A and B are shown apart, each in its own frame.
Chain A
Amino acid sequence: RKEVEQDPGPFNVPEGATVAFNCTYSNSASQSFFWYRQDCRKEPKLLMSVYSSGNEDGRFTAQLNRASQYISLLIRDSKLSDSATYLCVVTSFNDYKLSFGAGTTVTVRA
């Protein structure tokens, strides 16, 4: 089983729509969770951390479900500029490295 699994998509949505997708992780000792955004052939950029209570940053909402070992990202009122690949990232408490999912591609169309 892969350490971090994501639905690759693509999710093709119109501007203004809401899009949501999940990521599952296999290591129950995982401690920190993040969503990164990556544009084509660019570096991953930290979008937001994911906290146990769930958190929001503008149009973006992240949720964590430790019992089922998944995290989610919801994008409201999609903009053209939201088109990107969204990377789910997980780390363990005593482990410095980040484990990446393969990414979920979102395309927002006019």
Chain B
Amino acid sequence: EPEVTQTPSHQVTQMGQEVILRCVPISNHLYFYWYRQILGQKVEFLVSFYNNEISEKSEIFDDQFSVERPDGSNFTLKIRSTKLEDSAMYFCAPSLGGGYNYGYTFGSGTRLTVV
């Protein structure tokens, strides 16, 4: 049973639409990470978030993407105008510490399909 719940588990959206992916950690995590995995490809880092700020982002994380922790608990990834190439599994990974020494527990993921 993962410690982290991600919703929705699967979302189908039309190109150009906005989607919001949610991550609900159970414990008081301080660090949050989003990764994505295009089908058949490796897991790729998108963004890290600490203390209500982005601490690092990858080249993938362009202006179409944003992250928030709107209510101090949920952690969201928003894609403003989806493209076909955004179709992927998106994984949230909260961490109590910096995470790089301990490894992460990933959420169960959201499968995003853009049509």
Q: Which residues in A have their C-beta under 8 angstroms from that of B102?
A: 49
Contact B42 A101 (CB under 8 A): yes
> Using a CB-CB cutoff of 8 Å, which residues 41-89 of chain A contact chain B?
41-46, 49, 87, 89
Contact A49 B107 (CB under 8 A): no
Taking beta carbons and an 8 Å cutoff, which residues of A are in contact with B? 31-32, 34, 36, 41-46, 49, 87, 89, 91-93, 95-103
- By beta carbon, the residue of chain B nearest A34 is B103
Taking beta carbons and an 8 Å cutoff, which residues of B are in contact with A? 2, 31, 33, 35, 41-45, 48, 55-56, 58, 89, 91, 98-109, 111
Q: Which residues in A have their C-beta under 8 angstroms from that of B108?
A: 42-43
- By beta carbon, the residue of chain A nearest B92 is A43
Q: Which residues in A have their C-beta under 8 angstroms from that of B89?
A: 41
Contact A103 B42 (CB under 8 A): yes
Q: Which residues in B have their C-beta under 8 angstroms from that of A91?
A: 100
A–B Cβ pairs within 8 angstroms, 10 of them: A44-B106, A46-B105, A95-B56, A96-B56, A96-B98, A96-B99, A97-B33, A98-B100, A100-B43, A103-B42
**Cα separation A36 to B105 with both chains bound (whole Å):** 10
B67: shortest Cβ distance to chain A, in Å? 14
Contact B104 A96 (CB under 8 A): no
**Cα separation A93 to B101 with both chains bound (whole Å):** 8
